[in-house]
Structure formats: C-alpha cells, structure tokens
C-alpha cells in the first residue's frame, strides 16, 4: 500500500532552509535555499543571480548528461541537479522553490544525505491537494549496446539496478529496492558519487570536476579506495540508484512501476523520463486514491 491520510496529499517543507558549498564541475561557490511552494508548483529552480530566472525541474529542460544532469532554459543553465532532485523525490516533496546563486548545485559530500538532512531538519507539511502519480501501463525498454533500462507495471516504485566495473572494489553489484521515504533515507541517500584517480587529469583538462576533492567523492586507485572506508560494500550501485531516482524525478510526477537497469547512466535515465512523459500509451497520470481502480 502506498499510504493513506496525509500520504495521499502533496507535500512541501515547513519553512525555508539554506546551505552552501562548491560545484563539482564548475568549482564555483554557491548558496542554495529551499523554500515552501504552493500546490501544483512542482520543483522550480530560481537563479537569484539572474533576476530569479526560473527553470522547472522537468525532462524537457535536460540539455546535457555528461557525468551529471544539466538543465537549460532559454540559454540559462543549471548543472548537477540529480542528487538534490533524488533527495526531494525520495522524501516525497512535490512542491518547492530552490533559490540558487550560481550555475551548479553544490556537491556537498557527494551524496544526497546532506539534502535529506536539510529537509528533515525543517520538516515537511501536507498540502490541500491530492498527489498525482505516473503509473506505468506497459513495458518499455531502451538500449545502448549492452546497457539497458526498462520499466514495467508494478504496484509501487521498485528499482533493480546492476553494474559491472573491472575494478576489485566494485566488480558486479546489484540492488533491488522498493523506494519509500524510509528505504530511501536508510539505504540510498548516503551513497556518494565515485570516480577513478586515473581519469582525474583528463577530466580536468576537459573543464570537469574542478570542484572535486577527497571530501566529496569516492576516489578509486588501481586496486583500492584513496580516501578512507566505504559507507557500504555496495555503495557504488546504491549511488547509481540515487542518480536514477534524481533523473526520473524529472518526469514531474512520482512513478509507480518497476525499473530495471544494467550499466545505465544519466543518458538512459533521462531518455526513459522523456519516453514516459511523451507517450501516453506507456503511462497514465492518476490520483493516488484511484490507483487501485
């Protein structure tokens, strides 16, 4: 059962809350403030450094998916939105204004946990409008060589993700999880982004990871981890699930269906979000009170 009472309603946060940090790829200092928003607002970014220019967190604004998910509207960019979007989706936040004074969401510790702690610290509040879900009605699959992502009908959001890296600390990992606020907070939010020490120089030559450090990513050497212990043996696949949740949040509605992914990434994640929204035969928008109908 998906929930009852307050769980049937849209949610926002009780009051505004702020944080600041550095952009992973830009290296820029950035301040971000989460603010309550009315029903049916959705998640809306406001570039306060550009006269509050608004960018809705929706798949039609996805412009780039190289190592992060970037939104762009009328030439205004906002990068690395996936960890924050993942946290908001995982906690069931429907409506929010996100004021930001730079072109990239701060990476913080490389996971979604700091954003979860921000939201839980101020609390959430139900609103006077029922939630609408995107329910999967038929299976669809997208492929890129051996990589794939598929979604099929199910009674809740369930994610089964597999990765396979030729590295002794990763190898083959698989996670199968029903996504709820509790399971997200306990099983997914803590998982950090990761990268390989051997790729750092080339990425920086490409003007990427300029804000990367040992404090905001798991850095892998040839045969180990450079910066301390993992938070879980399978932290890597858990972070892939975290990214997937952040990317499918760009559908604009919470999803009811089972997603299976193999070695997928931001490109396949966001392509799936596009397919679900563009093709009404694949999914339908439905109020939670009618899901059993």
User: What CA–CA distance (Å, rounded) separates 92 from 96?
Assistant: 11
CB-count exposure of residue 65 (10 Å: 0-12, 13-18, 19+): middle
Specify the 3-state DSSP secondary structure of 131: coil
Question: What separation in angstroms does the CA of 93 have from each of 18, 30, 84, 127, 194?
Answer: 16, 22, 11, 11, 26
Alpha helices in the chain (DSSP H): 82-90, 113-122, 181-187, 200-205, 235-248, 266-278
Q: How far apart are alpha carbons 143 and 267 in whole angstroms? A: 11
- Angle at 198 (CA atoms; ends 192, 201), nearest 5 degrees: 95
**What SS3 string covers 206-226?**
CCCCCCCCCCCCEEECCCCEC
Catalytic residue among 11, 83, 266, 269: 266
Is residue 266 flagged as an active site residue? yes
Residues 6+ apart with CB under 8 A from 69: 62, 79, 80, 81, 82, 85, 246, 247, 250, 266, 269, 270
Are 244 and 69 within 8 A, CB to CB? no
Just list the catalytic residues: 266
């Amino acid at each position: 059962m998906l929930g009852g009472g307050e769980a049937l309603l849209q949610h926002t946060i009780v009051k505004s809350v702020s944080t600041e940090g550095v952009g992973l790829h830009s290296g820029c200092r950035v301040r971000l403030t989460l603010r309550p928003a009315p029903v049916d607002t959705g998640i809306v970014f406001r570039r306060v450094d550009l006269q509050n220019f608004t960018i809705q967190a929706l798949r039609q604004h996805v412009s780039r998916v190289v190592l992060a998910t970037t939104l762009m509207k009328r030439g205004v960019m906002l990068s690395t939105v996936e960890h924050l979007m993942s946290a908001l989706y995982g906690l069931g936040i429907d409506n929010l204004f996100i004021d930001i004074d730079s072109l990239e969401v701060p990476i913080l510790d490389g996971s979604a946990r700091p954003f979860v702690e921000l939201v839980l610290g101020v609390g959430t509040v139900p609103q006077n409008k029922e939630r609408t879900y995107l329910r999967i009605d038929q299976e669809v699959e997208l492929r890129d060589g051996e990589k794939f992502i598929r979604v099929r009908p199910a009674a809740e959001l369930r994610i089964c993700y597999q990765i396979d890296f030729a590295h002794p600390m990763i190898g083959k990992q698989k996670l199968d999880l029903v996504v709820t606020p509790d399971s997200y907070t306990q099983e997914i939010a803590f998982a950090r982004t990761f990268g390989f020490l051997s790729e750092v120089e080339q990425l920086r030559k490409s003007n990427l990871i300029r804000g990367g450090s040992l404090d905001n990513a798991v850095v892998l050497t040839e045969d180990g981890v450079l910066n301390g212990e993992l938070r879980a043996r399978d932290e890597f696949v858990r972070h892939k699930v975290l990214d997937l949740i952040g990317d499918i949040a760009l559908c604009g509605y919470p999803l009811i269906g089972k997603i299976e992914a193999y070695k997928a990434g931001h490109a396949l994640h966001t392509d799936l979000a596009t397919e679900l929204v563009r093709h009404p035969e694949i999914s339908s928008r439905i109020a939670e009170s009618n899901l059993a109908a």
